[in-house]
C-alpha cells in the first residue's frame, strides 16, 4: 500500500498493522509521517498523520506530542492542541471507545470512507478491493460531473458508489460513520482587532513555518508566480528570503500565457531571490492513469498533465499559498453582485453542473449551517465545497512532494475571515500585507504586466476551451 493510510476494524483488509487504537487497526505508508499523541496519564490517545509545525516552539515533525487531556472532550483536545498546528495533516483521536478523525484547516490531507464496510483511508484504491474499485465506479455520475473536462466532485461525493469524502471543518465519527461540523468560524464574525492585527497573524504563520523548517535542516522552496497569494507569501518571508529557494514551472508551450514565468524572473532578479525555472514535463499515459487512482478519479487538473515537472523538488518541502483565496473573497469579489444564495445559485457560483445529487447535497449543507452573513457563508463554501473537494483530493497524487500551506491553517483562515468585507475586496488584504512587510514588491503589478503586453492576456485565457465553456455557462445561468 503506497497511497497513504487505511483505518479498519478488520485487520484482514490491511497488508500490515502499524498502530492499534482499541479495536481499530491502522496501516500507514512509509512516506507518510506519524506523530504519536499521548494523554496526561501517558496512555496513547491517537496519532497525527502528515507534517506538522508547532508555532509555539516552533518545532517541526515531533515524534510525540503530550497533551493535557484530564477531563477534556476530544473536541476540546482538538481545539486546544491540534488546531493551532501549521501543516498538512489529519489527526486520529481515540479515547474510551470514541474515535474521531479531524483534518487541517483546508482538509489538505484528504480522507475517504466506506460506511457500510466501516473502513477509512486516503483514497478509494486503498479502501476498496480491485474488484470493488472497478464495479463500484459510477460512470454516469462521473460523466455528469464533467470530470474529464477538468471537473471535480463536491460535498462529500466521490466517483465510487458507497464511498464518501470527509469535508473540511468536519470530523468523521467512527462510531456511526457520520460527518459532524466542529467549526464554522463563528468567532471570526466578532473577533476583536484591526485589519492590521489580522495581517500580522498571517505573516507570523508563514514566517514561523519556514523558520521551523530551516532550523530542522529542511530544504524549503516557494512557488513564485505573478499572482497575489505568491506575492503575499514573498512579503511575509522577507526575513528568511535568503534561506529558501523559489521555483516556477515553464508553461507547456509557446502559445501559453507566460506571464507567471516572466514576472517571477523579474521578481527574482530585482530582489535577489534564488530562483529555479523547472522545465515542463508532460506525464506519460501510465503516469496520468496512476495519478487518477491516487485522486480516486475525483478530479482532473493541470497537475495531472504536469506533475512530473516538480520531480526535482522531491527532497524539498514546498510552501504553497492555498487558502489565501479566502482573504481575497474568491466567491464574492464584488459585494454589489452577490446574488440571493440558494443551493442552485451556489452550484452556479462554483461553476459546477446542475446535477440533482449535487444540488441536494448543497441544500443540506446550507441547512446545517448556523445563521451568518452571506459573505461568511460564501467563504465557508469556498473552503469546504471547493478547496476541500478540488485541491485537497490531490494530496496523495505525488507522494514525493510535501506541500505546506500556512495561509490555510485554522489560525490564518480565522484571521482572514475576521477582516472587514470591504477591506478584503479588490486585493485589499494582499496589498495591505505587502505594503507593511515589503512595499517594494508592489513596484511590479500583480496579475498584469502594467504595459501594452496586457492586451494579449485575454487572448491567452481563451486558449483553454474548458474554462471558457464553464465561464459562459455561469454567465448564461446568471441571466
User: Rounded CA gap, 234 and 245, in Å?
Assistant: 11
Residues in the chain: 479
User: Residue 34: which residues within 8 A CB-CB, separation 6 or more?
Assistant: 18, 19, 28, 47, 48, 49
Cell of 205: 504563520
Clarify whether residues 204 and 256 are in a common domain.
yes
Clarify whether residues 205 and 247 are in a common domain.
yes
Clarify whether residues 166 and 265 are in a common domain.
no
Q: End of a domain among 131, 153, 184?
A: 184
Using DSSP bridges, classify how beta strands 64-66 and 34-38 pair: parallel, antiparallel or unpaired.
Answer: parallel
Clarify whether residues 66 and 214 are in a common domain.
no
Q: Is the dihedral of CA 431, 432, 434, 435 positive or negative?
A: positive
Q: How would DSSP label each residue in 226-283? A: SSHHHHHHHHHTGGGGGGSEEEEEPPSSTTS--HHHHHHHHHHHHHT--EEEEPP-PP
User: Rounded CA gap, 223 and 407, in Å?
Assistant: 14
Cell of 243: 534561506
Clarify whether residues 107 and 250 are in a common domain.
no
Mean pLDDT of 347-353: 95
pLDDT at 116 over 70: yes
Mean pLDDT of 210-236: 96
* Distance set, CA 274 to CA 218, 233, 240, 267, 447 (Å): 16, 15, 12, 10, 21
Q: End of a domain among 124, 156, 184?
A: 184
Cell of 84: 493551532
Domain encompassing residue 9: 5-184
Range with the lowest mean pLDDT among 177-181, 204-208, 458-462? 458-462
Mean pLDDT of 52-59: 88
Q: End of a domain among 184, 217, 251?
A: 184
User: For position 449, what pLDDT does the model report?
Assistant: 86
User: Rounded CA gap, 38 and 69, in Å?
Assistant: 9
Clarify whether residues 157 and 192 are in a common domain.
no
Residue 246 domain flag: yes
User: Rounded CA gap, 222 and 210, in Å?
Assistant: 10
Mean pLDDT of 34-38: 94
Q: What are phi and psi of 25, to 5 degrees?
A: -115, 135
Residue 461 domain flag: no
User: Rounded CA gap, 462 and 358, in Å?
Assistant: 28
pTM: predicted TM-score of the whole model, two decimal places: 0.94
For the stretch 50-68, what's the b/e string if a residue is b when 16 or more beta carbons lie within 10 angstroms of its beta carbon?
bbbbbbeebebbbeebebe
User: For position 208, what pLDDT does the model report?
Assistant: 96
* pLDDT per residue as tens digits for the range 267-308: 999 999 999 999 999 999 999 999 999 999 999 999 999 999
Clarify whether residues 171 and 195 are in a common domain.
no
Residue 253 or residue 125, greater confidence: 125
Residue 438 domain flag: yes
Residue 250 domain flag: yes
User: Rounded CA gap, 188 and 168, in Å?
Assistant: 17
Task: Read off the CATH number of the domain in which 243 is found.
Answer: 3.40.50.620
Mean pLDDT of 386-409: 92
Count the Cβ atoms, other than its own, within 10 Å of residue 23.
12
Query: Residue 335: pLDDT band by 50, 70, 90 thresholds?
Result: confident
Residue 287 domain flag: yes
Range with the lowest mean pLDDT among 208-217, 435-444, 454-463? 454-463
Residue 328 domain flag: no
* Distance set, CA 314 to CA 31, 71, 400, 436, 455 (Å): 12, 43, 5, 33, 37
Counted domains in the chain:
2
Task: Read off the CATH number of the domain in which 129 is found.
Answer: 3.60.20.10
Clarify whether residues 297 and 175 are in a common domain.
no
pLDDT at 389 over 80: yes
Clarify whether residues 180 and 208 are in a common domain.
no
Clarify whether residues 178 and 204 are in a common domain.
no
Count the Cβ atoms, other than its own, within 10 Å of residue 294.
24
**In this structure, are residues 124 and 163 in contact, taking their beta carbons and an 8 Å threshold?**
yes
Clarify whether residues 109 and 160 are in a common domain.
yes
User: Rounded CA gap, 70 and 148, in Å?
Assistant: 50
pLDDT at 46 over 70: yes
Residue 46 domain flag: yes
User: Rounded CA gap, 80 and 355, in Å?
Assistant: 39
Clarify whether residues 99 and 69 are in a common domain.
yes
Alpha helix (H) residue ranges in 90-179: 124-127, 130-135, 139-144
Residue 61 domain flag: yes
Mean pLDDT of 411-424: 95
pLDDT at 120 over 80: yes
User: For position 453, what pLDDT does the model report?
Assistant: 82
CA angle 19/10/111 to nearest 5° reads 65
Amino acid at each position: 500500500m503506497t497511497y497513504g493510510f487505511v483505518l479498519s476494524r478488520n485487520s484482514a483488509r490491511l497488508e500490515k498493522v502499524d498502530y492499534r487504537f482499541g479495536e481499530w487497526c491502522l496501516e500507514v505508508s512509509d512516506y507518510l509521517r506519524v506523530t504519536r499523541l499521548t494523554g496526561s496519564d501517558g496512555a496513547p490517545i491517537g496519532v497525527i498523520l502528515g507534517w506538522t509545525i508547532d508555532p509555539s516552539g516552533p518545532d517541526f515533525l515531533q515524534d510525540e506530542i503530550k497533551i493535557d487531556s484530564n477531563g477534556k472532550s476530544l473536541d476540546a483536545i482538538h481545539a486546544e492542541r491540534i488546531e493551532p498546528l501549521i501543516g498538512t495533516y489529519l489527526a486520529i483521536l481515540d479515547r474510551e471507545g470514541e474515535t474521531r478523525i479531524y483534518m487541517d484547516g483546508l482538509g489538505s490531507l484528504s480522507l475517504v470512507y466506506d460506511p457500510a464496510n466501516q473502513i477509512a483511508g486516503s483514497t478509494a484504491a486503498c479502501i476498496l478491493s480491485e474488484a470493488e474499485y472497478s464495479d463500484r465506479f459510477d460512470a454516469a455520475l462521473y460523466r455528469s460531473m464533467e470530470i474529464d473536462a477538468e471537473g471535480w466532485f463536491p460535498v462529500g461525493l466521490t466517483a465510487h458508489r458507497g464511498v464518501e469524502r470527509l469535508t473540511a471543518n468536519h470530523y468523521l465519527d467512527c462510531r456511526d460513520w457520520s460527518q459532524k461540523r466542529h467549526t464554522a468560524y463563528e468567532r471570526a464574525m466578532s473577533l476583536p482587532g484591526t485589519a492590521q492585527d489580522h495581517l500580522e497573524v498571517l505573516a507570523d504563520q508563514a514566517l514561523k513555518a519556514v523558520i521551523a523548517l530551516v532550523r530542522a535542516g529542511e530544504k524549503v522552496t516557494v512557488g513564485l508566480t505573478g499572482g497575489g497569494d505568491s506575492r503575499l507569501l514573498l512579503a511575509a518571508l522577507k526575513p528568511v528570503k535568503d534561506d529558501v529557494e523559489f521555483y516556477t514551472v515553464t508553461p507547456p508551450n509557446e502559445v501559453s500565457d507566460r506571464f507567471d514565468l516572466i514576472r517571477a524572473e523579474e521578481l527574482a532578479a530585482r530582489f535577489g531571490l534564488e530562483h529555479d525555472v523547472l522545465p515542463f514535463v508532460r506525464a506519460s499515459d501510465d503516469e496520468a492513469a496512476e495519478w487518477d487512482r491516487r485522486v480516486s478519479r475525483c478530479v482532473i487538473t493541470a497537475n495531472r498533465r504536469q506533475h512530473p515537472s516538480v520531480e526535482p523538488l522531491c527532497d524539498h518541502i514546498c510552501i504553497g499559498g492555498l487558502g489565501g483565496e479566502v482573504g481575497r473573497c474568491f466567491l464574492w469579489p464584488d459585494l454589489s453582485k452577490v446574488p440571493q444564495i440558494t443551493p442552485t445559485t451556489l452550484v452556479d457560483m462554483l461553476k459546477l453542473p446542475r446535477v440533482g445529487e449535487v444540488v441536494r447535497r448543497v441544500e443540506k449543507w446550507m441547512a446545517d449551517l448556523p445563521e451568518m452573513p452571506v459573505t461568511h457563508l460564501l467563504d465557508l463554501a469556498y473552503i469546504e465545497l471547493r478547496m476541500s473537494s478540488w485541491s485537497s483530493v490531490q494530496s496523495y497524487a505525488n507522494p514525493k512532494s510535501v506541500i505546506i500551506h500556512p495561509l490555510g491553517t485554522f489560525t490564518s483562515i480565522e484571521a482572514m475571515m475576521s477582516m472587514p468585507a470591504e477591506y478584503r475586496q479588490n486585493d485589499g488584504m494582499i496589498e495591505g500585507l505587502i505594503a507593511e512587510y515589503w512595499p517594494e514588491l508592489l513596484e511590479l503589478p500583480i496579475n498584469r504586466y502594467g504595459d501594452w503586453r496586457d492586451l494579449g492576456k485575454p487572448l491567452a485565457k481563451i486558449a483553454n476551451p474548458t474554462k471558457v465553456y464553464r465561464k459562459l455557462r455561469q454567465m448564461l445561468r446568471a441571466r
